[in-house]
Amino acid sequence: MELLSLQNISVAYEKNLILENFNLNIEKGELISLLGPSGCGKTTTLRLIAGFLEAKDGKFMFEGKDYTRVPVNKRNFGFVFQSYALFPHMTVFDNVAYGLRLRKANKEEIDKKVHAMLEVVSLQGFEKRYPGELSGGQRQRVAIARALVIQPDLLLFDEPLSNLDANLRVNMRVEIRRIQKQLGITTVYVSHDQEECFSISDKVAIMNKGVIEQLDAPATIYKYPTTEFVARFIGFNNFIAIQQMSQDGAQVSLLGEQGTKIKLVHRSGHPITDSMKAAIRPDDLLVVTDSELADGVGGLTMDELDAGYNVITGKVKISTFLGRSYQYEVETPLGEFTVNREMETAFDHGAQVKLVLPKEKVVLVRTSV
Amino acid sequence: MKEKHRGLAVFTALVFIFLLGPLVIIMATSFGDSTILKFPPEGFSLRWYQNIFDVDMFMETFKVTIVVALIGNLIALLLGVPAAYALSRGEFRGKGLLNSIFISPILIPGVVLGFTMLKYLVVKFDLPIYSSLLIGHVVLMLPFIIRVIASSLSNFDYAIEEASMSLGASRLKTFFTVVLPNIRSGLIAGVLLAFLESFNNVDISVFMTGPGVSTLPIQMLTYVENYFDPTIAAISVLLMVVTGVLMILIERLMGLSYFTKK
């Protein structure tokens, strides 16, 4: 039974529909991220859950109760803002105690809970400071403590780390995950930073134009994107349009544009539809010379390679040194392919090469419009 | 280069003399001993200062001026604070127009405003002079209150209010516990500025005074028409001191740049 469910929600800002017939279910205790480019509707979704925005249509159910019209101050959800949004005229203690005082807790209880929470976020001894006297990371920890101390039924994060520098960001996201696990609190986390979302979430929802393209565990999304949009978003740069396809169990063999023949193992189990593309990451694509084509390359037999399966011929157009490897833009009859290869064996500009697509690394994704 | 600086210094000095000279002259004459306004003054005396307190009309109109400025300020606050909040936080149609309407008393010549109010409040609706004077001053003060408070609000992150609401506070509670303490200096500066506007106003007040009801600046005008002794200089000096102290307070609270920038 899900804790939270958005049912056929529509949200409009002025005349633009930002969400239309939007659905999302969240289980108790999990941390789910909403990830996507700016304007994809992730922040709108979060603000709707918080109660800062009202749905034009649809229903918001929480713990089996209709929350659609419950005002923000009656929801008991904790919200952590990108700008921290601490009360500048109050000390750290008073900031954290604010929600408890509104709940008419007695002084002893407030004292105890605030101190316990400041310990959770490692800010003991900072009680008497004002927000203006704290660093960005400390402010965000006060904001987290302030949101957590009221024992919210749901914790919401809106790009909480965007204003911090890179090192601190990595530390803070570990902190956030640790606290979330420790308290077992259901959390919705919005960010445009892919690494951040993947590293802390139980599930990630990748959003595009007000629609969730895929909602899965981070590793599943990383390995098996379902749509072209998701694939591009997580770094599959190479796509091949498919003309014909035949399936035998997990074994799929297909005919792409320009007569390209590809055999692949379809592991994700995503349903195969009519409009699909084959996709592969620059890291997974092999770039070899003629003489390097040998039995077993990319999981293909010599017979298959001789028959032209999973091989595309091209010419190196641009090479970029990335440190550990080189990245090549290879011009082929199918368009440009991006491929990485370790630095020891560099190709010159204009070199004729063969691209091999390993059977296990090619995925099928639904075409995005 | 040096020559240029000297030129600039002379120019600046001239500007200061031009601006402050008359004030210095008034100050000097207020301490004179002769019975007519005269510069340079002859002798030294404080009797014109004494005279201010002996003329009943000065004391009475001073009281009216203070009462109108204070009560008017209170009313302007009650109207202006919610208006400023709505204008800076709300999203609604006609916001720009409303904003212009609230600011317009600053732009319209005071004489026009005063005359219009006389025509409608006093003549048409037959309101008592005292209430008309009060209404006139509320209209005069309102734009200053709204402008200064809206400016304070625009520097205050709305997310902070949202944070308060997400922690369980209603919008009203949030206003009193979170917004108000953070715009306090703007609020005080707005009150002081509006007070000064009202206290020194002539062009609206002149239409709203009548038998038994007058403000100090109007009484001063009447006085000059009949007498030419330095009492008027003495009272001007006192007003300057009050104004100066209030301006310094405002500057300390907000910085005067608040009123010059958009």
| C-alpha closest to that of A117 among A155, A80, A144 | A144
* Domain identity same for A94 and A10: yes
Q: Give A52's contacts in chain B (Cβ within 8 Å).
A: 162, 165-166
Q: What is the mean pLDDT of residues B198-226?
A: 88
Distance from CA of A47 to the nearest CA of B (A): 10
How much is the pLDDT for B258?
Answer: 53
pLDDT-based confidence at residue B262 (cuts at 50, 70, 90) = very low
* Domain identity same for A33 and A138: yes
Reported as a single tens digit per residue, the pLDDT across B98-155 is: 888 888 888 889 899 999 989 888 888 888 888 889 999 999 999 999 999 998 999 8
| C-alpha closest to that of A155 among A316, A310, A31, A3 | A31
* Domain identity same for A335 and A297: yes
Residue A358 scores a pLDDT above 50: yes
Reported as a single tens digit per residue, the pLDDT across A87-122 is: 999 999 999 999 999 999 999 999 999 999 999 888
State the count of interchain CB pairs (< 8 A) between A and B: 63
Reported as a single tens digit per residue, the pLDDT across A162-212 is: 888 888 889 889 989 998 998 899 999 999 999 999 999 999 999 999 999
How much is the pLDDT for A93?
Answer: 97
DSSP β-bridge partners for residue A204: A33, A216
- In this structure, of A51-60, A229-238, A239-248, the range with the lowest mean pLDDT score is A239-248
Q: d(Cα B164, Cα A78) in Å, to the nearest integer?
A: 10
With contact defined as beta carbons under 8 Å apart, do A290 and A284 qualify? Answer: no
ipTM above 0.90, yes or no: no
Distance from CA of B162 to the nearest CA of A (A): 8
DSSP β-bridge partners for residue A59: A7
- Length of chain A as a residue count: 369
Question: Is A72 part of the contact surface with chain B (CB cutoff 8 Å)?
Answer: yes
Reported as a single tens digit per residue, the pLDDT across B31-53 is: 888 887 777 878 888 888 888 88
Contact A72 B160 (CB under 8 A): no
How much is the pLDDT for A163?
Answer: 86
**Which one of A75, A81, A103 has the shortest CB-CB distance to B163?**
A81
DSSP letter at A262 equals E
Distance from CA of B87 to the nearest CA of A (A): 18
Write down the mean pLDDT value for chain A: 90
Distance from CA of A164 to the nearest CA of B (A): 18
Distance from CA of B195 to the nearest CA of A (A): 27
Residue A252 scores a pLDDT above 80: yes
* Domain identity same for A173 and A65: yes
Residue A225 scores a pLDDT above 90: yes
Residue of A nearest to B169 (CA): A73
* Domain identity same for A217 and A307: no
* Domain identity same for A140 and A63: yes
* Domain identity same for A196 and A305: no
* Domain identity same for A304 and A320: yes
Distance from CA of A72 to the nearest CA of B (A): 6
* Domain identity same for A33 and A179: yes
**Structure tokens given for B224:** 């000059």
Reported as a single tens digit per residue, the pLDDT across A151-160 is: 999 999 999 9
What residues have CB less than 8 Å from A14, skipping those under 6 apart?
none
**Which one of A83, A86, A102 has the shortest CB-CB distance to B168?**
A102
**Which one of B162, B169, B171 has the shortest CB-CB distance to A102?**
B169
Domain count, chain A: 2
Instruction: Return the CA Rg of chain B.
Output: 22
Contact A99 B167 (CB under 8 A): yes
Q: Which of A170, A204, A223 is the endpoint of a domain?
A: A223
* Domain identity same for A261 and A207: no
Residue A61 scores a pLDDT above 50: yes
Q: Give A86's contacts in chain B (Cβ within 8 Å).
A: 160, 163
Residue of B nearest to A90 (CA): B178
In chain B, what percentage of residues exceed pLDDT 70? 95
Q: Give A76's contacts in chain B (Cβ within 8 Å).
A: 168
Q: Which domain holds residue A10?
A: 2-223
CATH code where residue A247 lies:
2.40.50.140
Q: Which of A223, A248, A271 is the endpoint of a domain?
A: A223
Q: Give B171's contacts in chain A (Cβ within 8 Å).
A: 73
How much is the pLDDT for B256?
Answer: 56
Probe site for chain A from B156, B167, B171, B183 (most A CB atoms < 10 A): B167
Contact B168 A150 (CB under 8 A): yes
Residue A257 scores a pLDDT above 90: no
Q: Which of A207, A223, A239 is the endpoint of a domain?
A: A223
* Domain identity same for A188 and A68: yes
pLDDT-based confidence at residue A272 (cuts at 50, 70, 90) = confident
Residue A315 vs residues A74, A319, A337, A339, A349: alpha-carbon distances, Å = 63, 11, 10, 12, 8
CATH code where residue A199 lies:
3.40.50.300
Question: Is B170 part of the contact surface with chain A (CB cutoff 8 Å)?
Answer: yes
Contacts 24+ apart (CB under 8 A), A161-169: A161/A191, A161/A193, A161/A196, A162/A82, A162/A191, A162/A193, A163/A82, A163/A83, A163/A84, A163/A136, A164/A136, A164/A137, A164/A140, A165/A136, A168/A136, A168/A137, A169/A193, A169/A196
Contact B167 A102 (CB under 8 A): yes
* Domain identity same for A93 and A159: yes
Question: Is A113 part of the contact surface with chain B (CB cutoff 8 Å)?
Answer: no
Residue A219 scores a pLDDT above 90: yes
Q: d(Cα A19, Cα A53) in Å, to the nearest integer?
A: 12
**Structure tokens given for A118:** 């400041």
Residue B260 scores a pLDDT above 80: no
pLDDT-based confidence at residue B261 (cuts at 50, 70, 90) = very low
pLDDT-based confidence at residue B2 (cuts at 50, 70, 90) = low
Distance from CA of B184 to the nearest CA of A (A): 11
Q: Give B169's contacts in chain A (Cβ within 8 Å).
A: 73, 98, 102
**Structure tokens given for A146:** 């302030």
How much is the pLDDT for B259?
Answer: 52
Write down the mean pLDDT value for chain B: 88
